[in-house]
Amino acid sequence: MKQHTVIDSPYGPLTLVAEDGTLCGLYMTDQRHRPPEENFGAPDDTPFGETTAQLRAYFSGELKDFDLPMQLAGTPFQRTVWEQLRKIPYGETRSYGELADALGNPKASRAVGLANGKNPIGIIVPCHRVVGTDGSLTGYGGGLDRKQRLLDFERAAALF
């Protein structure tokens, strides 16, 4: 059974989705690869108390690492990439090539990019921390403006 709620954030409304009480989605407005609304289940705030609290702490600069149970639905390769994303330290970035190297497949940077773009739990699984080899901003499902703002926010907060 799925439920969802919408919360405000400095980056616009965020739709949180849970399946059987466990977080399985965090989507921004106008996000690429955002599932249709009818897939989000019934409106219900109940399963999102801890997620909302941790997101608020993150947005205030108090939380650097999320500790939430999650259901990441995807292929085995996608889930491996998403696990690598969670290892990128707060306030830092990695390139698609560096992630491919970390997976033991240096030629898989394009596949890493595709998996990164399908991340169902943005911000918490920090796909915004992935940049081009030269450090340039590249595609981001939530838009490059949001990506830049998230990176700037984390870099500034990491200094304290």
Same domain, 55 and 81: no
Same domain, 15 and 41: yes
Same domain, 27 and 85: no
In a domain, 70, yes or no: no
Catalytic, out of 127, 130, 131, 150:
127
Give percent above pLDDT 70 in the chain: 99
Same domain, 153 and 83: yes
| Separation between Cα atoms, residue 135 and residue 44, nearest integer Å | 40
Domain residue limits at 104: 76-158
Same domain, 54 and 87: no
Q: Is 24 an active-site residue?
A: no
What pLDDT does 86 receive? 96
What pLDDT does 100 receive? 95
> Is a pLDDT exceeding 80 seen at residue 159?
no
In a domain, 30, yes or no: yes
| Separation between Cα atoms, residue 119 and residue 105, nearest integer Å | 20
Same domain, 45 and 97: no
- Please report, for the domain that includes residue 151, its CATH number: 1.10.10.10
- Please report, for the domain that includes residue 46, its CATH number: 3.30.160.70
Smallest CA-to-CA distance from 149 within 3, 6, 12 is with 12
In a domain, 136, yes or no: yes
Same domain, 86 and 28: no
Same domain, 24 and 85: no
Same domain, 55 and 84: no
In a domain, 66, yes or no: no
> Is a pLDDT exceeding 70 seen at residue 57?
yes
What pLDDT does 135 receive? 81
Among the three residues 59, 86, 107, which one is the final residue of a domain in this structure?
59
- Give the total number of structural domains in the chain: 2
Same domain, 95 and 49: no
Strand partners, 106: none
pTM for this model (two decimals)? 0.92
In tens, the pLDDT along 108-117 reads 999 999 999 8
How confident is the prediction for the chain on average, in pLDDT?
92
Same domain, 24 and 50: yes
Query: What value does the mean pLDDT take over residues 128-141?
Result: 84
Same domain, 130 and 88: yes
Q: Which residues contact 156 (CB under 8 A, 6 or more apart)?
A: none
Query: What value does the mean pLDDT take over residues 49-57?
Result: 98
Smallest CA-to-CA distance from 96 within 141, 142, 127 is with 127
